[in-house]
Structure 1
Amino acid sequence: MCKRNRSHRLTFEEAVDVHSRLLDGEIYSRIAASYDVNQGRIADVKFGRLHPGSYEEALRRRRAA
Structure 2
Amino acid sequence: MAFDNRKPSSKLTFEDAVEIQRRIKRGEYLNRIAADYDVNPGRISEIKTGKTFAGSEASAH
Same fold (TM over 0.5): yes
User: Aligned to 1:30, which of 5, 13, 32?
Assistant: 32
- Of all paired residues, the percent bearing the same amino acid is 47
Instruction: Give TM-score scaled by structure 2 length.
Output: 0.88
Q: Please tell me the residue identity of whatever aligns with 1:25.
A: G
Instruction: Give TM-score scaled by structure 1 length.
Output: 0.83
Query: Which whole-Å deviations, capped at 9, do the CAs of 1:1-46 have from their partners, x for residues lacking one?
Result: x464210111000000000000000000110000000100000100
User: 5+ residue gaps in structure 2?
Assistant: none
Structure (1/2) with the larger helix percentage? 1
Q: Number of aligned pairs?
A: 59
